[in-house]
Amino acid sequence: MPAREQCGVVGVSLQSTGAAPYLFRGLRALQHRGQESAGIATSSHGTLYHRKGMGLVHEIFGQEILDTLRGPVGIGHVRYSTTGSSDLENAQPIVVKIRDQDGAIAHNGDLVNFEWIRRRLQAQGVELLGDADTEMMAQLIAFEYGRTRELDAAIRRAAAELVGGYAVVLLAGGRVYAFRDPLGIRPLVLGTVDGGAAVASESVALELMGGKATRDIAPGEVVVLDKGQVVKTSSIASPGARAHCMFEWVYFSRPDSIAEGRSVYEARYRLGERLAKESPAEADLVVPVPDSARPQALGFASVSGIPYAEGLIKNRFVERTFILPDQRRREFEVRVKLHPVPGLLRGKRVVLLDDSIVRGTTLREIVQMVRSAGASRVDVRVGCPPIRAPCYFGVDMKARRELVAHGREEAEVAQVIGADSVHYVSVAGLVEAIGLPAQDLCLGCLTGKYPVDVPEERHRFQKSLGEF
Ligand code: SF4
């Protein structure tokens, strides 16, 4: 089983030396996408420098370590493992041999046809050391490079075989190659920084690197950065075919990011407005589950006229619950992470806004906490339709049985989490709030229809594998 992860990537190419501090700042901005491990690889005059470690970016990379990562070009990665194999060996970037030189590769996402490609490579005599998607991608690219002797052509040939959602940064020959799956399931943004060019999983990372996003890397596009410039772009995608992960707007991306030209904050606010219209509630207070549901709660309050209140306070020094891999740790840390404001909720009918419900374990604890604080009623409203099917493209929602909405109607979910009612925003409401056409979004975990062929799952009717 390949490692499954929801991660963040960054890459930078400068005209003069000093890529590491930029990568450090970019990774810190992407810390919410993975908190288990982080890594940076840079290159100077053909020599690769790299360092990775377990923990948060600032815990791994002190100034002394950053000073050892030389050169004007590099890539970085933050990782969240969902397999339990949260060890340093699986941290990225991983070092690879490409162009007869040391290079490095890092990626965000998951492949559906991992086993098929692994067997194909092994049949060609390629030795694979581990079972990670990342190594296999690197070996596939190296294999194709042996045929084409041109790296971006090798990437295009390799990408044409990879089925799934991925955003990749590759450091080789003093250049950064950044590419994205042919449907743009996982995000990747291109921009400028002082004296150079950069890519990152989210626009906010480019801004925190002191630069700005110029555009999203198109689905299937391969972008080459060299000496601080974008020197080449090419594509393997069919024009117009897209399936951006709706979960980026719902939960993953920071609210101050812009994805596919759509503000994440505004999408979340509109989700709250839409919920207030679709599923109104008689209540005294609208309370968000902090921090991720604040915009939704503000939107709900503005339409409903019910006062907004920060009834739950978050301890800012505890990591996000969903991206902590161990279930018992998750439950324990809800209590450490959130605390109700004394007196504020007593005797009140509370509408509790959450961004999404995956397993329901965290929300059950929170509903209990709101009741213990004296709320007379807790009505839950959710800014994402019921998640009823697994994700195969890099988000940790693996098995139907783990999903609280699988096989349950809203009233049954309310019973499980101990709320007086639960209502989710509709799929149409979600699509309208994001502001992109439904056929340009991946809604696989909501509808059970996926944008690429997944064994034993239904394929979304608009696209077939042959169109990639
Ligand atoms: S299945 Fe769901 S979480 Fe996975 S990529 Fe599609 S929309 Fe995102």
304 Cα to the center of ligand 1, angstroms: 30
The pTM assigned to this predicted structure is 0.92
Pick the residue whose CA is nearest to atom 8 on ligand 1: 245
**CB distance 430 to ligand 1 below 6 Å:** no
4 Cα to the center of ligand 1, angstroms: 13
Q: Ligand 1, closest atom to CA 443?
A: 7
Reply yes or no on whether 7 is catalytic.
yes
Per-residue pLDDT, 468 = 28
Per-residue pLDDT, 85 = 54
Name beta bridge partners: 192. Answer: 197, 212
Query: Under a CB-based contact definition with an 8 Å cutoff, are residues 107 and 167 in contact?
Result: yes
Supply φ then ψ for residue 180, to 5 degrees. -135, 150
Q: Ligand 1, closest atom to CA 389?
A: 1
Report d(CA 162, CA 466) in Å as an integer: 13
Q: Ligand 1, closest atom to CA 387?
A: 2
Q: Ligand 1, closest atom to CA 444?
A: 1
Pick the residue whose CA is nearest to atom 2 on ligand 1: 445
Per-residue pLDDT, 335 = 76
**CB distance 165 to ligand 1 below 6 Å:** yes
Q: Which of 7, 245, 442, 445 is catalytic?
A: 7
**67 vs 48, 71, 90, 173, 440, CA distance in Å?**
14, 10, 24, 21, 43
Q: In order of start, what are the domains of the chain with their CATH numbers?
A: 8-243 (3.60.20.10), 263-441 (3.40.50.2020)
Per-residue pLDDT, 83 = 45
Structure tokens at 54: 């377990």
243 Cα to the center of ligand 1, angstroms: 9
25 Cα to the center of ligand 1, angstroms: 27
Tens-digit pLDDT profile for the chain (468 aa)? 333 457 999 999 999 989 999 999 999 999 999 988 999 999 999 999 999 999 999 999 999 999 999 999 999 999 986 544 557 878 899 998 886 788 999 999 989 998 888 888 889 888 877 667 888 899 999 999 988 888 989 999 999 899 999 999 999 999 999 999 999 999 999 999 999 999 999 999 999 999 999 999 999 999 999 999 999 899 887 777 899 999 999 999 999 999 999 999 999 999 999 999 999 999 999 999 998 899 999 999 999 999 999 999 998 776 544 455 566 666 677 778 899 998 999 999 999 999 999 999 889 999 999 999 999 999 999 999 999 999 999 888 878 999 999 999 999 999 999 999 999 999 999 999 999 999 999 999 999 999 998 887 876 644 433 332
